[in-house]
Amino acid sequence: MSRIEARFAALATEGRGALIPFVEAFDPDRETSMALLAGMPSAGADLIEIGVPFTDPMADGPTIQAAGKRALAAGAKLPRILDMVREFRRADAATPIILMGYLNPILAYGPPRFCADAAAAGVDGLIIVDLPSEEADLIAADAARHGLDIIRLVAPTTDDARLPKVLAGSSGFIYYVSITGITGTRTASGAQLEAAVPRIRRVSSLPIAVGFGVRSPEQAATASRVADGAVVASALIDTLAADLDAEGRARPGTVGKVLDQVRALAAAVRAG
């Protein structure tokens, strides 16, 4: 059983959904993002998404764009991000790690070698924003060979006729992009989620995580109750960004502030 499968199965017996916080690798430097990553499980993260920066993040709003820019300036590169995952795995063998980013850095690395190296480093799944199911064969076989889940995205624009095509051959969990928009802008209402999630459940038995626009503990609680997990990204990055000094460097308390926010989100998710 993969780490992702095992984690969702364990949460199902607990009767609650997952909190999935996001950390942009190398934002604003390796040390800070490594401390965040390492601190997240004990702060209540059930799975963790690591953002892989790209110069042209087409699906991201200003918050993640700025995080990516800081990260690239700090020297973020795929091999160095895999190195962070290796370091994380020395202390944590159970928390699933999902890399989220865009296709081109993976193409430049080479999909076969990337999948091998990512799996060896301890990565469990990939979310590749600009790789729709129509193009997924570019990496699907390599990912499967190394036991990496390619997490499929479903959007409000994905209609019932298209859903089975999008979800064919999917594994791990399903990422429901809850709004038509970019990250960090709008928020879906509880009612919208209550309508959307059953639509996906009819087609797939995989766990469903809700992302894009989940910001507050209440929203995280709703999303993880209606679906099976809540992804929180921009709200955490906003906290980090607001705490940086004039030169864009983290302060001594920055990591603690972000982890406190993870704790608050986790408490709400656990309370249901």
Partner 1 sequence: MNTPASSIGANSLRSGPDARGRFGAYGGRFVAETLMPLVLEVEQAYRDARADPAFQAELDAYLANYVGRPSPLWFAHRLTERLGGAKIYLKRDELNHTGAHKINSCMGQILLARRMGKTRIIAETGAGQHGVATATVCALFGLPCTVYMGATDVERQKPNVFRMKLLGAEVRAVRSGAATLKDAMNEAMRDWVANVEDTYYLIGTVAGPHPYPMMVRDFQSVIGEEAKLQMMQAEGRLPDVAVAAIGGGSNAMGLFHPFLDDAAVRLIGVEAAGHGLETHAHAASLSRGRPGVLHGNMTYLLQDEDGQIEEAHSISAGLDYPGVGPEHAWLHDIGRVEYVAVTDDEALAAFQLLTRTEGIIPALEPAHALAQVAKLAPTLPRDSIILANLCGRGDKDIFTVAEHLGVSL
Q: Does 125 bind partner 1 (CB under 8 A)?
A: no
For residue 127, the minimal CB distance to partner 1 (Å) is 11
Q: Does 65 bind partner 1 (CB under 8 A)?
A: yes
Token pair in block for residue 268: 């709400």
The letter for the amino acid at 211 is G
For residue 185, the minimal CB distance to partner 1 (Å) is 7
Q: Which of 24, 46, 60, 142 is catalytic?
A: 60
User: For partner 1, how many residues bind (rule: CB under 8 A)?
Assistant: 44
Q: How far apart are CA 204 and CA 214, in angstroms?
A: 23
Q: Does 189 bind partner 1 (CB under 8 A)?
A: no
Q: Does 78 bind partner 1 (CB under 8 A)?
A: yes
Strand 48-51 to 208-211 pairing: unpaired
Whether 60 is catalytic:
yes
Q: Does 113 bind partner 1 (CB under 8 A)?
A: no
CA–CA distance from 139 to each of 84, 130, 171 (Å)? 23, 13, 14
Give the x/- contact pattern for partner 1 in 5-44, rule: CB under 8 A.
Answer: ----------------------------------------
Q: How far apart are CA 220 and CA 209, in angstroms?
A: 10
Sign of CA dihedral 236, 19, 192, 218: negative
Best CA proximity match to 21, nearest among 236, 185, 169, 193:
236
Q: How far apart are CA 12 and CA 264, in angstroms?
A: 21
Q: What angle do CA 81, 101, 103 make, to 5 degrees?
A: 105
Give the x/- contact pattern for partner 1 in 137-176, rule: CB under 8 A.
Answer: ---------------xxxxxxxx--x---x----------
Q: How far apart are CA 236 and CA 247, in angstroms?
A: 20
| Minimum CB distance to partner 1 smaller for 58 or for 120 | 58
Q: Does 247 bind partner 1 (CB under 8 A)?
A: no
Q: Does 109 bind partner 1 (CB under 8 A)?
A: yes
Where do contacts with partner 1 occur on this chain (CB under 8 A)? 54-59, 61-62, 65, 69, 72, 77-78, 102-109, 129-135, 152-159, 162, 166, 177, 180-182, 185-186
